[in-house]
Structure 1
Amino acid sequence: MAITAKQIIDSGAHIGTLKREAHPKTSKFWLGVNNSLVVLDPEKMAEQLEAIKTKVQECKKENKKILVVSEKKMFTDEVKKLCEDKGVFYLNQKVPGGFLSNFPTLMKRIDSLNEMKRFIDSESFEMLTKKEQAIYRRKYKKVDSIYSGVAKLSARPDLVIVVDGMQMKGFVKELKGLQNIDAVIMAGTNFDSYVGKYDVIANMFSYKALNFMLTTILS
């Protein structure tokens, strides 16, 4: 079913930032300004989201690796739930520096996480004292909270979806400097970088809007 302007309006995804905070590079997506807030064109947004949805579906058909990246605290649990339901990788905490550009280091961290899990499930772990077990579990939980969504990632992702490109400006710069990785950037009207074919300018401050958009493009 095609994405409609009404769905976008109902979710509030078409509401931008204050005009004084908005960047001119996003102005081609504006419908107007109401009470100092930028209002985005829901028809253009529907086209953007349809293009992204098609791209995601193509990647899934080709069994390509899709990664969703978000540092938005209000959206942490929903990113985990949606991505696990849709079978895609995710990072929903603070993204480690050089995550993609220094991928071999990331793989070592993932291997370490998986090794910790195997140890916890082993008989050797039961031989530790209760205090030692508690300390080790806390250490594992800390690492797991960061890397659990990529624990089975065996190679660089083919497609990366970034939630709030302005908040993750450094990561977006790193991502766009890499070859052979397609990028989808979801960003607000304050986004000051080039808006590509598979990017969408939308409301980045509404849980309802973010949930609608991510659910839609991953379906």
Structure 2
Amino acid sequence: KINTQDLLKAGVHFGHIARKWHPNMRPFIFMKKGGIHIIDLSKTVVKLNKACEELENIVFSGKKILLVGTKDQAKEKVSYYAKIANMPCVTERWLGGLLTNFTTIRKSVKKMNNIEKMKKNGTFNTLSKKEKLLIDRLYTKLYKNLGSISNMNHIPGGIFLVDPNKEKIALSEAKKLKIPVFAMVDTNTNPNEIEYPIPSNDDSSKSINIILKYVSETIQKAS
């Protein structure tokens, strides 16, 4: 059950400086205090519940949720909760075509997995020093970009964005493929672009943490 007091303690209600607001966020703003917009947490609870219900349906049907957060405050949290929920994630740069050119991306993932197999079964040790060096370099590059999505064998059933303003390419690729988008929307974001917007502070690591905690628990329950 979502606890409003916990959201309050985590600072989920703190929005952006009022002059940076997006007018479509008006229904989710409680008041303006000290030049900062304050998010109405009762609306956050409603939207978070709705998002969690749909996430549960998607995961229950056997599909994956791709968690995305490449800003500094989000990286560690996204990686942590994706691991717990056994879901793919992106915390480094979003690779253009990750969704829209998924077949090519999967080929690169297979290449990475094959190198891992070579290292496990001893084939790697039979190679020359130069070959080992080249393969190691390739593996490092592939793992940095694709290691966290190696368990994503199909297009995900949904995508969760910590900050849609920061993850514009991910958002547009998901929309192009009609993948349901779940996202934390701060007061400077257009919620109408998101199918399942969750009004919340997307700049504080405590706020990101608590929203991801609820999302992760929902996914684990449905898995």
Q: What is the TM-score with the length of structure 2 in the denominator?
A: 0.89
Residue 207 of structure 1: aligned partner: 205
For structure 1, the 5+ residue unaligned runs are: none
Identical aligned residues as a percent: 24
133-142 or 85-94, which moves further after superposition?
A: 133-142
Number of matched pairs: 217
Q: Secondary structure at the match of 1:121?
A: helix
In the aligned structure 2, how far is the partner of 1:49 from the partner of 1:14?
Answer: 13
SS for the counterpart of 1:68 is strand
CA distance, structure 2, for counterparts of residue 187 and residue 67 of structure 1: 17
1:88-167 → structure 2 map (5 Å cutoff):
88-128=87-127, 133=132, 136-167=135-166
Residue 6 (structure 1) aligns with: 5
Distance in 2 (alpha carbons) for counterparts of 1:178 and 1:48:
23
Change (3 A) 1:56 1:124: same
Matched residue, 2:192: 194
Structure 2 unaligned segments of length 5 or more: list them.
218-223
Deviation of the 1:120 alpha carbon = 2.5
Q: Which residue of 1 aligns with 2:220?
A: none
Q: Distance in 2 between matches of 1:197 and 1:175?
A: 11
- RMSD over aligned Cα atoms: 1.8
Cα distance in 1 for residues equivalent to 2:136 and 2:76:
21
CA distance in 1, matches of 2:185, 2:145: 23
Q: Deviations over 1:67-108 (max 9, x none)?
A: 111112232222222111112111111110121111111111
Structure with greater helix percent = 2
User: In structure 2, what is the equivalent of residue 20 of structure 1?
Assistant: 19
2:53 matches 1:54: yes
Q: 1:56 to 1:192 in 2, by over 3 A?
A: closer
Contact 1:18 1:37 (8 Å CA) reproduced:
yes
Distance change in 2, residues 1:175/1:82 (3 Å): same
The separation in 1 between residues aligned to 2:125 and 2:194, in whole angstroms, is 53
